[in-house]
Amino acid sequence: MVCLSYRGYWTSRGRPSEKGINLDAQAGLEYVQRLHNEQEQPKSADDDPKPSPVLVLWGQSVGSGVATNMAAWDKFPPAMRLNGLVLETAFTSIKDMLGALYPSQWTPYRYLWPFLRNHLDSLGNLDKIAQLGRGNGGPPRITLVEAGRDELVPADHGAQLERRGREVGLTVERKIIHGTFHNDVMFRPEGRKAVADAIEAAVATSRDGTKNGP
């Protein structure tokens, strides 16, 4: 497991921005690839190299937007297969969140989206993920893990992501952890199990060689 400390978060220096965080995530992915390449590849009984490792991207809240940015990255390392994408308490886009956080018609912020520097458009990324995945062993399985009482992200954001994912032919599973708030999902056994099940499904899909269908 590789956990990233994006610029401006935790102990990392700098100021967070979508462009900079994308660079951090890309560097993390390149590190994983380099680490795998440096390790001796075990041989199977017939002396053929074993399959590539299973790769799952997991993002929470803002991190879910970074995860979909990575999955939709057109320079994603061709030697690496993205098997799973876990989006915890995900929102559709920052533009949509402006309307959710400032719904009043008298609040100007919701009208300032044309000036946004950061977009984190997960809804739009789903189309790119579906397109890029077709030529690389199939697109990743997507698991949406929602907080049942999310005080920040409206419930319809998860429903929109699920619906759009299915429309473009992705395998999407949506799990709601009832009684949890935005940052509480992993404190519940049901939340941890949802992520564990998503990883297990990605592993199983990789091993049996089947492609993810709608």
Q: Which residues pair with 177 in a beta bridge?
A: 147
Neighbouring C-alpha atoms within 13 Å toward the C-beta of 104: 3
pLDDT tens digit string along 175-200? Answer: 999 999 999 999 999 999 999 999 99
For the chain, the average pLDDT equals 88
Residue 5 inside a domain? The answer is no
Residue 33 inside a domain? The answer is no
Residue 198, domain extent: 53-208
In this predicted structure, what is the pLDDT of residue 147? 98
pLDDT tens digit string along 22-32? Answer: 999 999 999 99
pLDDT tens digit string along 76-133? Answer: 988 888 999 999 999 999 999 988 888 877 778 777 878 888 899 999 999 999 998 7
Angle CA 74–64–81, to nearest 5: 40
> Which CATH number do you get for residue 91?
3.40.50.1820
Tell me the pTM: 0.88
- Sign, Cα dihedral of 19, 140, 184, 146: positive
What are phi and psi for residue 82, nearest 5 degrees? -85, 110
Residue 42 inside a domain? The answer is no
Total domain count for the chain? 1
| Residues in contact with 43: Cβ distance below 8 Å, sequence separation at least 6, in sequence order | 49, 50
Residue 103 inside a domain? The answer is yes
Residue 112 inside a domain? The answer is yes
**pLDDT at residue 171 greater than cutoff 70:** yes
Report the residue count for the chain. Answer: 214
* Contact by Cβ (8 Å): 89, 153: yes
Residue 108 inside a domain? The answer is yes
